[in-house]
């Protein structure tokens, strides 16, 4: 078996998701995942540090999409325009990823919902995203408070739209649902 | 030693905080905490399930202050008025608690900052607060999306103001700092 196995990572992810859904996260081992994916445990560890990380693959990419969009917005852009650009980039990143497997994010969310430790890991990921966004906004010249509130707003809009997006009967896009949330937030704050 | 010990809970909290700050959270045992507080381990477990819970005492009270204020707002109140009432009640609750020991929340925050698992526990607490607030807002007749966005907004304003409030050089009140955050958020959304 060569070092490079075409599709091994995708097969590992698919196998992990199936097993977590069938047996529960705690009852699934790395050996189980590797066996179902048809690779060795050693191959598993070439891609992931542990079984939990299979569920948090792509985290860096998502954060980069959000943060790069904030940094790339034109110098004179309004904060509203920067928010829109960040949400379009972050939401767009996940829309593209999902096109490979429509059910992945919903099944993943169900696995997370059944396990407090995984939920906490997800919350920490969102807190880190907010921290990174606040940093990028300060770099643009926003004061500390506005940067922090704007970052929290972006993450709140993203998370709320994401939860709707993966619902079984939702056919709208994530970016579209984010705009919906932003509109609702504006209405609430001016009510 | 009688079952009821005046001040035992306060002494346990004080002892735990001192030891966590001195030795770190992981290196401190329940036996250490009980010994420093001058009580038995059995007394410790009468008040707390484990050493971690000493840091999350009062969680229910905070959530109740926020949620009760949402429920108690007059029937025709605008969403903005409900947000203000919730923040005044939640912030006011913590201001009153802090009057007993000004340094407690800052020392607690430093202990949390040094420990990922404690940070995750704190994030879960805030996520639960947002969930409870969204429920109370739906009960008032807000649609699902507005309730969720409003709840996330309240928690974001609270958390951001709280972080400023416990800063060493901050002398403004938590409720006042929350109003500041709300103003910044409004400015950002209309920029």
Closest approach of B184 to chain A, Cα-based (Å): 6
As a whole number, the mean pLDDT across chain B is: 92
Model pLDDT, residue B37: 96
User: For residue range B111-151, what is the model confidence (pLDDT) as tens digits?
Assistant: 999 998 899 899 999 999 999 999 999 999 999 999 999 99
CA–CA gap between residue A130 and residue A144 (Å, rounded): 13
User: For residue range A155-188, what is the model confidence (pLDDT) as tens digits?
Assistant: 999 999 999 999 988 999 999 999 999 999 999 9
As a whole number, the mean pLDDT across chain A is: 92
Concatenate the DSSP letters of all residues of A19-30 into one string: HHHHH-STT--H
**What is the percent of chain B with per-residue pLDDT over 70, rounded to a whole number?**
97
Q: Does the pLDDT of residue B1 top 50, yes or no?
A: no
Model pLDDT, residue A180: 96
Model pLDDT, residue A2: 45
B82-95: burial string, b at 16+ Cβ within 10 Å, e else:
bbbbbbbbbbebbe
Rounded to an integer, the average pLDDT of A6-25 is 92
Q: Does the pLDDT of residue A3 top 60, yes or no?
A: no
Contact B51, B69 (CB under 8 A): no
Rounded to an integer, the average pLDDT of B58-87 is 94
Compute the Cα dihedral for A86, A91, A97, A100 and give only its sign. negative
Q: Where are the alpha helices (DSSP H) in B41-169?
A: 41-47, 59-72, 79-98, 104-113, 116-139, 144-165
Concatenate the DSSP letters of all residues of A44-109 into one string: HHHH-SSGGGGGGTTHHHHHHHHHHHHHHS-TT--HHHHHHHHHHHHHHHHHHHHTT-TTHHHHHH
Model pLDDT, residue A168: 86
Residues from chain A that touch B120, judged by Cβ atoms under 8 A, are: 120-121, 123-124
Please tell me which of the candidates B120, B123, B149 has its beta carbon nearest to residue A156. Answer: B149
Please tell me which of the candidates B146, B159, B188 has its beta carbon nearest to residue A150. Answer: B188
**Closest by CA position to A146, among listed B157, B152, B185:** B185
Q: What does the domain layout of chain B look like in residue ranges?
A: 8-54, 58-189
Collect contacts of B141-148 with beta carbons under 8 A, ≥24 apart. B142/B79, B145/A160, B145/A164, B145/A180, B145/A181, B145/A184, B146/A184, B146/A187, B146/A188, B146/B79, B148/A160, B148/A163
User: For residue range A73-82, what is the model confidence (pLDDT) as tens digits?
Assistant: 999 999 999 9
Size of interface A-B (CB pairs under 8 A): 98
Rounded to an integer, the average pLDDT of A110-114 is 93
Residues 6+ apart with CB under 8 A from B46: none
| Count of other CB atoms within 10 angstroms of residue A24 | 12
**CATH level 2 (architecture), domain A58-189:** Orthogonal Bundle (1.10)
With CB atoms and an 8 Å threshold, state whether A164 touches B185. Answer: no
User: For residue range A53-66, what is the model confidence (pLDDT) as tens digits?
Assistant: 999 987 889 999 99
Model pLDDT, residue A1: 45
Q: ipTM value of the model?
A: 0.86
Q: DSSP 3-state assignment of B159? A: helix
| Count of other CB atoms within 10 angstroms of residue B165 | 23
**What is the percent of chain A with per-residue pLDDT over 70, rounded to a whole number?**
97
Rounded to an integer, the average pLDDT of B70-75 is 95
Q: Does the pLDDT of residue A131 top 60, yes or no?
A: yes
**What is the percent of chain A with per-residue pLDDT over 90, rounded to a whole number?**
81
With CB atoms and an 8 Å threshold, state whether B160 touches A152. Answer: yes
Residue A49, Cα to own-chain centre: how many angstroms? 18
With CB atoms and an 8 Å threshold, state whether A80 touches B145. Answer: no
Categorise residue A13: left if φ over 0, alpha if ψ from -120 to 50, beta otherwise.
alpha
Closest approach of B17 to chain A, Cα-based (Å): 23
CA–CA gap between residue B188 and residue B191 (Å, rounded): 5
Residues from chain B that touch A83, judged by Cβ atoms under 8 A, are: 188
Give the CA angle between residues B33, B46, B95 to the nearest 5°: 75
With CB atoms and an 8 Å threshold, state whether B189 touches A186. Answer: yes
With CB atoms and an 8 Å threshold, state whether A80 touches B189. Answer: yes
With CB atoms and an 8 Å threshold, state whether A189 touches B188. Answer: no
User: For residue range B15-58, what is the model confidence (pLDDT) as tens digits?
Assistant: 999 999 999 999 999 999 999 999 999 999 999 999 999 999 87
The CATH code belonging to domain B8-54 is 1.10.10.60
With CB atoms and an 8 Å threshold, state whether B80 touches A145. Answer: no
Same fold, B8-54 and B58-189: no
User: For residue range B74-119, what is the model confidence (pLDDT) as tens digits?
Assistant: 999 999 999 999 999 999 999 998 887 788 889 999 999 999 889 9
What's the alpha-carbon Rg for chain A, to the nearest Å?
Answer: 19
Closest approach of A124 to chain B, Cα-based (Å): 6
Please tell me which of the candidates A119, A159, A189 has its beta carbon nearest to residue B124. Answer: A119
């Amino acid at each position: 078996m060569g070092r490079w196995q075409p599709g091994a990572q995708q097969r590992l992810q698919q196998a992990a998701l199936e097993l977590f859904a069938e047996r529960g996260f705690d009852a699934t081992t790395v050996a189980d995942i590797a066996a179902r994916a048809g690779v060795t445990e050693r191959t598993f560890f070439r891609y992931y540090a542990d079984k939990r990380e299979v569920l948090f693959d792509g985290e860096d990419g998502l954060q980069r999409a959000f943060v790069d969009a904030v940094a790339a917005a034109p110098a004179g852009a309004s904060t509203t325009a920067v928010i829109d650009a960040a949400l379009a980039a972050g939401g767009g990143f996940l829309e593209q990823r999902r096109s490979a497997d429509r059910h992945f994010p919903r099944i993943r969310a169900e696995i997370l919902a059944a396990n407090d430790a995984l939920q906490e890991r997800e919350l920490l990921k969102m807190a880190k995203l907010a921290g990174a966004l606040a940093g990028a906004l300060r770099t643009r010249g926003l004061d500390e408070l506005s940067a922090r509130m704007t970052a929290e707003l972006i993450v709140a809009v993203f998370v709320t739209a994401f939860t709707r997006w993966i619902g079984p009967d939702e056919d709208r896009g994530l970016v579209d649902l984010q705009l919906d949330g932003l509109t609702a937030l504006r209405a609430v704050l001016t009510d």
